Amino acid sequence: MKNFAKFIVAGSLCLSMLSSCHIYKKFEMPSDDPATSEYARVAAEAPDSSAYGNLQWQQVFTDPLLQDYISRALANNVNLENARLNIDIARANLLGAKLSYLPSLAFNPNGAGAKYNLPGASMTWTYTLPLAASWEIDVFGKILNNKRAAEVNVELQGDYAQAVRSQIIGGVASCYYSIATIESQLALSKQTSEIWAQSVQTMRDFKEAGRVTEAAVVQSEAQYYSILASISDLETALRQANNSMSLLLNEQPQTYSVPADARLEVPAILRDGIALREIAQRPDVRVAEKNLAAAYYNTNLARAAFYPGLTISAQGGFTNLLGSFIKNPGDWFIQLAGQLTAPLFARGQNIARLKGAKVQQEQSLNNFKYTLLNAAAEIDNALVSLANNTTKAEMLAKQEESLQKAVEYTNLLMAHDQNTTYLEVLTAQSSLLQAQMGRLSTELNRQTDLITLYQALGGGR
């Protein structure tokens, strides 16, 4: 009968181990889905160090002053520092998961005294100085999967920190070129406002001389006030851009120096196209992948809860209490024990935990596939916007050149042709200002597209 019981226990353990083999497997990207299988293929390829997204940020943003601002932001930004601290927290958790393989030790000395109400009885003292050790044997991968989940979390926090770093670099660069553009627009508007102030006075003089009507004077004044109003808007935008830069650099609000000719050129490397494997370099894609891996290991942990746990414990020390007898002086003792705990009924908690873990794993897979689609869309949007804004900037530059000539010709006609009114001169000047402002805005959009594309390709190393 005893042999039969041993056979049943051994058989149960063997069946449990066979059914739990998949618990020991490392995470692999699902191969039954086209999106994930293709991602696994391209992610396994060696990254192209010359690709735009893999370039060091100093290779992309070569302006020395901009590099100084970015370096200050990377050194002082609070969000990036917190992301680094999250990595330290994850590493501490990983250390705890690794140490779970070691036995636990505890020292629990105790003593007691007793005196019985008997003639001649004295105080009787007992004491025990035990050192206890307990070691959980990881038969069914509970500790293993917990450690692997902790390892994934360290990588995840590193990828998240890279995403924050990329946002900071792109944010500083965007603020830098925004400040340069707004300052150029502000200088242009102020210069134009001075010209229009003189033009309004000229229109008033012409009105006194009977050459123009009051309506023409009022129209010129309205355009002049419109320019003054736009100056106020530009000054507000400039202050906001400087304040955004201050936040990124973790500095008090101040005005940042930016050269008026600051310009980010399109690198020749973009003319070779974008490889699919560059999507795998994006930190948000890697974060989504790590979340999927963590969900996989959490599911394994939930499965492991259904299997027995084996614990070996030992206790040794010095005591004078031997059962119900007291021995003075005391003596050394040692105890060994093994415990096998198999869950039979846990009020449905293990089943609920496993179902929830499977659902979360499915959600993580959906989030990962959506992140891939979103990454591809962001890259495509940035490429299309960059191409269109580059073409638009070229056309606006030609328009500005033509309108500059129109202003010159109108001024000449005004001086030599009585049929040309001063209102035509003002109209030409107004059109020129709009074209100049539009070209500057489009040029800023083009530079922003370059920054966005660099971020979309996982840049910021």
Backbone φ and ψ of 44, nearest 5°: -75, -15
- How far apart are the C-alpha atoms of 161 and 43, rounded to whole Å? 20
Is 26 a domain residue?
no
- How far apart are the C-alpha atoms of 154 and 290, rounded to whole Å? 9
pLDDT at 339: 77
Which ranges in 254-348 belong to alpha helices (H)?
283-304
Contact (Cβ atoms closer than 8 angstroms) between residue 126 and residue 111: yes
pLDDT at 409: 84
Is 22 a domain residue?
no
- How far apart are the C-alpha atoms of 32 and 30, rounded to whole Å? 6
Quote the distance between the C-alpha of residue 13 and its chain's center: 45
Is 12 a domain residue?
no
Is 154 a domain residue?
yes
* Spatial CA neighbour of 216 closest among 426, 1, 400, 58: 426
Q: Roughly how many angstroms between the first and final C-alpha of the chain, as a whole number? A: 68
Is 325 a domain residue?
yes
Structural domain boundaries, residue 322: 31-107+126-456
- How far apart are the C-alpha atoms of 7 and 16, rounded to whole Å? 14
Of the listed ranges 60-74, 122-136, 165-179, 376-390, the least confidently predicted one is 122-136
3-state SS, the chain, equals: CHHHHHHHHHHHHHHHHHHCHHHHCCCCCCCCCHHHHHHHHHHCCCCCCCCHHHCCHHHHCCCHHHHHHHHHHHHHCHHHHHHHHHHHHHHHHHHHHHHCCCCEEEECCEEEEECCCCCCCCCEEEEEEEEEEEEEECCCCHHHHHHHHHHHHHHHHHHHHHHHHHHHHHHHHHHHHHHHHHHHHHHHHHHHHHHHHHHHHHHHHHHHCCCCCHHHHHHHHHHHHHHHHHHHHHHHHHHHHHHHHHHHHCCCCCCCCCCCCCCCCCCHHHHHCCCHHHHHHCHHHHHHHHHHHHHHHHHHHHHHCCCCEEEEEEEEEEEEEECCEEEEEEEEEEEEEEEEECCCCCCCHHHHHHHHHHHHHHHHHHHHHHHHHHHHHHHHHHHHHHHHHHHHHHHHHHHHHHHHHHHHHHHHHHHHCCCCCHHHHHHHHHHHHHHHHHHHHHHHHHHHHHHHHHHHCCCCC
pLDDT higher than 60, residue 19: no
pLDDT higher than 80, residue 10: no
Of the listed ranges 4-8, 241-245, 327-331, 450-454, the least confidently predicted one is 4-8
pLDDT higher than 70, residue 17: no
Is 410 a domain residue?
yes
- Please give the residue that has the higher pLDDT: either 35 or 46: 35
Q: Kindly report the CATH number assigned to the domain that includes residue 266.
A: 1.20.1600.10
Is 114 a domain residue?
no
How many CB atoms within 10 Å of residue 51?
19
- How far apart are the C-alpha atoms of 396 and 141, rounded to whole Å? 65
Q: Please give the tally of structural domains in the chain.
A: 1
Is 8 a domain residue?
no
- The predicted model scores a pTM of 0.84
Share of the chain above pLDDT 70, in %: 84
How many CB atoms within 10 Å of residue 160?
19
Which ranges in 139-272 belong to alpha helices (H)?
142-208, 214-249
Confidence of residue 11 (pLDDT cuts 50, 70, 90): very low
pLDDT tens digits for range 215-248: 888 888 898 899 999 999 999 999 999 999 999 9
